[in-house]
């Protein structure tokens, strides 16, 4: 068994996993895996290569060869494809939609599995995604599954998009989120669902700092036990 501790944060889009993961990794001095960024970067590379969302063989080859890297401190990470910073490009609505289609392909997920597990390095890892607790790190030290209503998540996503300078409206963003949730939950491989041993945390009615306090108390208790 791998003794390097891992805390997994899973849940649907806009639930606050990214923000909480960054805070936690920063405060613990641990590494951070933003697994969604890996799937997103693959979707961007696929779009640029002119691949179709159902060309599973070509997409898996691309996944294995993807020249992806992360740079910077955990709370200010940049995603690079080759030498190009793609932080904004991988978060466009178009790439978000393509990402969830590509992420449903079993051989693509398999091709990205070891790349994600390689992030497990001392002194520890905070891993954010959909299947961190169920598939990628089933032996994680603490598994948290975050939830929030689609309306709340839509508002958060809209704010992020507006900060990045893109124009969008709430109804469209909520509809896109609902569509992606359905695809992520219904896919046959690694569907979005809590691990049987995950703790549930609903962030709808709580501020980031309230949610973070709850998370910190769980983390401290679990790390003391281990
Ligand atoms: O967390 P995010 O919004 O950046 O994720 C983008 C997409 O990638 C989303 O549709 C779900 C998918 N994804 C996944 O299937 N498995 C993961 N571990 C992370 C993300």
* Tens-place pLDDT, residues 16-66: 899 999 999 999 999 999 999 999 999 999 999 999 999 999 999 999 999
Residue of 99, 105, 115, 192 to mutate, ligand 1, most atoms within 8 A of C-beta: 99
Q: Note if the pTM is more than 0.75.
A: yes
Half-sphere exposure of 53 (CA within 13 A, CB side): 14
Ligand 1 contacts CB of residue 12 (under 6 A): no
- Domains, the chain, ordered by start: 6-220 (3.40.50.300)
- Average pLDDT per 10 consecutive residues for the chain, totaling 226 residues: 90 90 97 97 98 96 97 92 96 90 95 97 97 97 94 87 83 88 86 93 90 96 90
Site of tokens 């501790």: 5
Ligand 1 contacts CB of residue 157 (under 6 A): no
Ligand 1 contacts CB of residue 91 (under 6 A): no
69 to each of 77, 91, 96, 116, how far by Cα in Å? 10, 16, 19, 12
Ligand 1 contacts CB of residue 184 (under 6 A): yes
- State the Rg of the chain over Cα: 17
Dist. CA 32–CA 79, nearest whole Å = 12
Q: Which residue's C-alpha comes closest to atom 8 of ligand 1? A: 36
């Amino acid at each position: 068994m791998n003794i390097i501790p891992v805390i997994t944060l899973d849940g649907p889009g806009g639930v606050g996993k990214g923000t909480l993961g960054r805070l936690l990794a920063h405060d613990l001095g641990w590494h951070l895996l933003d697994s969604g960024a890996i799937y997103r970067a693959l979707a961007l590379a696929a779009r640029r290569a002119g691949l179709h969302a159902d060309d599973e063989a070509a997409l898996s080859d691309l996944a294995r060869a993807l020249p992806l890297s992360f740079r910077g401190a955990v709370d200010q990470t940049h995603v690079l494809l080759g030498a190009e910073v793609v932080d904004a490009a991988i978060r466009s609505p178009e790439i978000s939609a393509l990402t969830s289609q590509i992420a449903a392909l079993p051989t693509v997920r398999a091709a990205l599995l070891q790349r994600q597990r390689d992030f497990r390095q001392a002194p520890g890892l905070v891993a954010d995604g959909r299947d961190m607790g169920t598939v990628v790190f089933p032996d994680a030290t603490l598994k948290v599954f975050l939830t929030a209503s689609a309306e709340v998540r839509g508002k958060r996503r809209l704010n992020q998009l507006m900060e990045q300078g893109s124009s969008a409206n709430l109804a469209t963003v909520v509809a896109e989120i609902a569509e992606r949730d359905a695809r992520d939950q219904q896919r046959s491989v690694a569907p979005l669902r809590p691990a049987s041993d995950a703790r549930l945390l609903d962030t709808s009615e709580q501020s980031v700092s309230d949610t973070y306090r709850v998370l910190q108390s769980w983390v401290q208790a679990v790390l003391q036990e281990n």
